[in-house]
């Protein structure tokens, strides 16, 4: 479904990604692990069209998408849930969700999608008329994911969904990620919490200094001493 080959990208004259190659098969969950500053967010932002690829290729469903405008990629089925969530804090929950459907004009189905998001995240239904600023960090993350789903994606890019969230809500959010995948949506999740990410993914990549250093099925990664030491050492990373 999604294939990156020898992708190079960066900011200004600073190269961040070095020949990154990875694949996200249709209807799969793949995780991209790595320390802060490894290049994980840059990878997602380049896939989503927010950063221009310097060289290499990004193919989505057999079509090249490097250089395609972000809103066109949303129409093609790619939705990014950014690390900082990028919510409109002065707007209500429902207004933020409806913005996620800006590429759609099928009003009845948009309302159906809205109900599906509320079924998935009942807290959002309870707070639908509340100002987004009043939500907890976990609720804001649910809203960011819900807004991503409103575009009806076939590929969801999740950037650090557990960041700054109480552990109990992390479990709740990842349970929903599993459900989203069961509904046919492929997920590429960037996470520093390797343990929770590998519980939901089937395949993983480890990024160091802008390059993929290790990859494999998550069961293989979990057994790898390098992964255990760097990411699973005391269960808190």
Spatial distance between the Cα atoms of 200 and 228, rounded to a whole number of angstroms: 17
Q: What is the pLDDT of residues 78-132, one digit of tens each?
A: 999 987 778 988 899 999 999 888 878 888 888 889 999 999 999 999 999 999 9
Which pLDDT belongs to residue 82? Answer: 87
Q: Which residues contact 182 (CB under 8 A, 6 or more apart)?
A: none
What does the chain come to in residues? 237
- At residue 233 the predicted structure's pLDDT band, cuts being 50, 70 and 90, is low
The full set of domain ranges for the chain reads 27-49+66-231
Cα(50)–Cα(2) distance, integer angstroms:
17
Provide the pLDDT for residue 237. 36
Percent of the chain exceeding pLDDT 90 equals 71
Other beta carbons less than 10 A from residue 214's beta carbon: 17
Question: What are the b/e assignments for 35-70, b being 16+ CB within 10 Å?
Answer: eeebbbbbbbbbbbbebebeebebebeeeebbebee
- Taking the C-alpha atoms of residue 200 and residue 78, their distance in angstroms, rounded to an integer, is 20
In the chain, what is the greatest distance between 2 CA atoms, to the nearest angstrom? 51
CA distances from 99 to 1, 63, 174, 225 (A): 26, 26, 23, 44
Distance CA 55, CA 6 (A): 7
Number of Cβ within 10 Å of residue 216's Cβ equals: 15
Q: Are 147 and 96 in contact (CB under 8 A)?
A: yes
Average pLDDT over residues 46-52: 95
* Ranges 1-10, 108-117, 207-216: which has the least confidence: 108-117
How far apart are alpha carbons 74 and 23 in whole angstroms? 19
Report the predicted TM-score, pTM, of the whole model to 2 decimal places: 0.91
The pLDDT-based confidence of 236 (bands split at 50, 70, 90) is very low
Percentage of residues in the chain having pLDDT higher than 70: 97
Region 53-59: what's the mean pLDDT?
96
Q: Does residue 166 or residue 149 have the better pLDDT?
A: 149
At the fourth CATH level, the homologous superfamily of domain 27-49+66-231 is: P-loop containing nucleotide triphosphate hydrolases (3.40.50.300)
């Amino acid at each position: 479904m999604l294939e990156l080959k020898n992708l190079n990208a960066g900011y200004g004259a600073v190269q961040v990604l070095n020949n990154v190659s990875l694949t996200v098969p249709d209807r799969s969950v793949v995780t991209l692990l790595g320390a802060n500053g490894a290049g994980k967010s840059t990878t997602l932002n380049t896939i989503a069209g927010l950063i221009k690829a310097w060289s290499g290729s990004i193919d989505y469903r057999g079509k090249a998408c490097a250089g395609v405008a972000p809103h066109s990629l949303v129409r093609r089925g790619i939705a990014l849930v950014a690390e900082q969530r990028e919510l409109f804090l002065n707007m209500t929950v429902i207004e933020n969700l409806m913005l996620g459907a800006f590429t759609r004009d099928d009003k009845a189905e948009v309302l159906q999608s809205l109900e599906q998001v509320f079924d998935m995240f009942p807290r959002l239904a309870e707070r639908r008329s509340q100002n987004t600023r009043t939500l907890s960090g976990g609720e804001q993350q649910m809203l960011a994911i819900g807004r991503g789903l409103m575009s009806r994606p076939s590929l969801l890019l999740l950037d650090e969904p557990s960041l700054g969230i109480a552990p109990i809500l992390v479990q709740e959010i990842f349970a929903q990620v599993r459900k989203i995948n069961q509904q046919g949506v492929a997920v590429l999740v960037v996470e520093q919490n390797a343990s929770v990410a590998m519980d939901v993914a089937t395949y993983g990549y480890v990024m160091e200094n802008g390059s993929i250093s290790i990859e494999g099925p998550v069961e293989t990664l979990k057994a790898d001493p390098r992964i255990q030491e760097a990411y699973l050492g005391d269960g808190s990373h």
